[in-house]
Amino acid sequence: MTATRTTFAGFGGLEKGIWYALTFLSTAVFLVGFVRLVRRYRVRRATAGPVDVRRMLVVVLTHSWIRRRDGVAGLAHAGVFYGFLVLLAGTTILAIQDDVLKPTTGWEFWRGSFYEGYSLFLDVFGAAMLIGLVVFALRRFQGRIARLDYARRDDRPVSAKRARYQLDDWVFLWSLLYLGLTGFLLESLRIAVNRPSFEVWSPVGWVIGNGLRSLGVDGSSADAARAGLWWSHGLVALAFVAAIPFTKAMHMLTGPAGVALRSPTVGRELVAEPETGYATLADLTTHHLVDLDACTKCGKCHEACPAGIGGMPLSPRDLILDLREASSLGVTTALVPDVIAPETLWSCMQCMACVDICPVGIEHVPVINLLRRGLVERGELDEQLQGTFEAVFTSGNSFGEAKRKRARWAKELAVEVRDARAEAVDVLWFVGDYASFDPRNQRNTAALAQLLTHAGVSFGILFEAEKTAGNDVRRAGEEGLFRSLAEENIATIAGCDYQRILTSDPHSFNTLRNEYPGLGAPWTADQVVHHSVLLLELLDAGALAVKAPLDRRVTYHDPCTLGRYNGIFEQPREVLARVGLDLVEMPRNRDNSLCCGAGGGRIWMKDTARPGSRRPSEQRIDEAVALDGVDWFVVACPKDVTMYEDAIKTSGHGERIELRELSELVLAAVQPPPTS
């Protein structure tokens, strides 16, 4: 027998006509839904930035974003994804032969070796899809993974739409499971009819088909069962296709689109417009509307958010779903407070944990920032935050201190600190607010100055002309004040003669490196360096020589704006190794680091966590003291110094662990104190 089979075995003309009519109807419903989505996106403000098709293909085909921190889910999804694609391709190939080539040319290629290879290929990938679906079903049914439920983190009631999400998830999962199982059963029943030898190339169907024959299901009984199951399988398949633009399956279209649209500088460089932010749905760009529809409700952002973990009323997932649900209310609906509560937005630390882990590229942080701008525009903000904005406006720093005090930390040093405005220097040191005014941080600033001098680095500062860089001012929603600060700092630095810009503050580092060049700064991103990177360079070059290795066990906290924002993970660790420290990693490290709680202006706001909640900074110290024999908690950010010095006390671990800043440690190893 020739290796092939009849597509519509046993079907008459009426049955074929009904099938083609239903196929046409299913396709039409799908296209109506697809066009509806496209039209909704096109009437909105255009998306700024490129559409990165290459990144989309790489991310989608490798599943690199889905596999992060959940390899099981990544492999299971790959099985479902590739299984679905191969089965869809197999159906399309068959349709091309039966409905295009055979009627017009009489050519049939679906036979012989091609048919055998086709059968094997579809069986293997069909099995992969089923295995993946079973894994997901077990995870949801037995695993009880917290991020897969829809419990809210705020006090708002669960909407009717939210209550249906669980049903939508299960219908999507069971529909695919049904299609996969009935597809194999159809194949098995077809084989059980007369057991053609070439169907051994359909290994799953061959095994099950022979099992059915051993049970007496063969010949006419197998053929009758196959006919009924064929219609059941086909109708579910057509319904699934029609429902794609209206159900969870929508992410098959919008997910890849979201990946392609995601800004390459997301979070690092916020958009300048609209300065007044988002007020209604009509303000959202096409990109952010696609993001709302792309959300798969996987809960990875919900699980990663430090605000939610710390008892504050924020879940990035809930925020996106609330905005999606609001689309039925009309484009003029006020997003805040009708859809999103103000306290939800102010809870955000702009740490990028949600954006970093999202498998479909949703930009939660920029959306929250734009919603915050709307609140600031209307004057609806925390009193403490308002006070900080006023202090920055009048004094140029978040402490409200007189400008002349900015360089007071340098007066008692035995080293010369040059004025970069008056003479040429190799390194222009942008010190930052906390490193300049906070007493505990001033020790670290002095240590860094001594190290630079010891290494022979020509450096200078801006003294009273320096103003806060504005990273957190911008991320707290005060776009106008940020632009004013940026313009003044750029003008000051532009009048100096330097080669590189140094800062020990990751927040200043991010803005100077990623945002100022786009606002007219006459330097490139590569000219801005964090002190951890410069210290490693000096150690490598021998300009700093370790004379007394420290020989302690330590753990290191990755600052959000240094790590997740800018990818600087290894240099601080290398510095610790060079000065003789034994690093023990916390469970959450590098891009999975837990935010200290200071970012996005949170350090300037009152605590809104639920009573009894443990702040992210306290949880981080708990994590550190649980490690074996760790003496020091090492940081490389002035705000981390402030947050964790406090957390060590309030967490009850004051006698268990001490805080050290990177510069302090290097200085102790390079210039050990004299022995008595």
310: Cβ contacts below 8 Å, ≥ 6 apart: 597, 609, 613, 614, 615, 616, 619
* Other Cβ atoms closer than 10 A to 435: 27
- Please tell me the distance from the alpha carbon of residue 9 to that of residue 12, in angstroms, as a whole number: 9
Each residue's pLDDT tens digit, 496-545: 999 999 999 999 999 999 999 999 999 999 999 999 999 999 999 999 99
Strand order in the sheet with 553-556: 582-583, 553-556, 632-635, 658-661
pLDDT higher than 80, residue 222: yes
Average pLDDT over residues 14-38: 95
pLDDT higher than 50, residue 254: yes
CB 198 within 8 A of CB 112: no
How far is CA 317 from each of CA 161, 262, 355, 591, rounded to the nearest angstrom?
14, 17, 11, 19
> Could you say which DSSP state residue 198 is in?
G
The pLDDT of residue 564 is 97
Average pLDDT over residues 157-185: 89
* Other Cβ atoms closer than 10 A to 587: 9
Domains and CATH numbers, the chain: 13-147+158-257 (1.20.950), 268-287+301-377 (1.10.1060), 383-538 (3.40.50), 553-670 (3.40.50)
- The strand pair at 459-461 and 418-419 is best described as parallel
CB 369 within 8 A of CB 263: no
Q: Report how far apart the first and last C-alpha atoms of the chain are (Å, whole number).
A: 98
Each residue's pLDDT tens digit, 549-576: 999 999 999 999 999 999 999 999 999 9
304: Cβ contacts below 8 Å, ≥ 6 apart: 353, 354, 356, 357, 592
Give me the chain's average pLDDT, please: 94
- Please tell me the distance from the alpha carbon of residue 322 to that of residue 338, in angstroms, as a whole number: 10
- Please tell me the distance from the alpha carbon of residue 135 to that of residue 129, in angstroms, as a whole number: 10
CB 314 within 8 A of CB 307: yes
Q: How far is CA 664 from the centre of its chain?
A: 33
- Please tell me the distance from the alpha carbon of residue 164 to that of residue 176, in angstroms, as a whole number: 19
- Please tell me the distance from the alpha carbon of residue 151 to that of residue 158, in angstroms, as a whole number: 8
* Other Cβ atoms closer than 10 A to 305: 28
- Please tell me the distance from the alpha carbon of residue 435 to that of residue 423, in angstroms, as a whole number: 23
195-211 in b/e form (b: 16+ CB < 10 A) is eeebbbbbebbbebbbe
Each residue's pLDDT tens digit, 581-599: 999 999 999 999 999 999 9
**Beta pairing partners, 280:** 334
Helix ranges, 43-111 (H): 53-62, 64-67, 71-96, 102-105
Q: Report the percent of the chain where pLDDT is more than 90.
A: 85
Position of tokens 């927040």? 507
DSSP string, 595-612: P-S-GGGGGGS---PPTT
- Please tell me the distance from the alpha carbon of residue 325 to that of residue 329, in angstroms, as a whole number: 8
Q: Report the percent of the chain where pLDDT is more than 70.
A: 98
Supply 240's token pair. Answer: 């699934």
- Please tell me the distance from the alpha carbon of residue 65 to that of residue 225, in angstroms, as a whole number: 43
If one compares 1 and 470, the residue with the highest pLDDT of the two is 470
530 phi and psi angles, rounded to 5 deg: -85, 150
pTM: 0.93
**Beta pairing partners, 582:** 553
CB 389 within 8 A of CB 481: yes
- Please tell me the distance from the alpha carbon of residue 598 to that of residue 616, in angstroms, as a whole number: 10
> Could you say which DSSP state residue 245 is in?
G
Each residue's pLDDT tens digit, 352-376: 999 999 999 999 999 999 999 999 9
- Please tell me the distance from the alpha carbon of residue 657 to that of residue 649, in angstroms, as a whole number: 10
Each residue's pLDDT tens digit, 125-156: 999 999 999 999 998 887 678 888 888 888 88
The pLDDT of residue 118 is 95
Query: Residue 310, exposed/middle/buried by CB under 10 A (0-12, 13-18, 19+)?
Result: buried
The pLDDT of residue 675 is 54
The pLDDT of residue 143 is 66
Q: How confident is the model at residue 676 (pLDDT cuts 50, 70, 90)?
A: very low
- Please tell me the distance from the alpha carbon of residue 196 to that of residue 528, in angstroms, as a whole number: 71
Strand, helix or coil for residue 530: strand
Average pLDDT over residues 653-665: 97
Helix and strand element counts for the chain (H, E): 28, 9
The pLDDT of residue 48 is 64
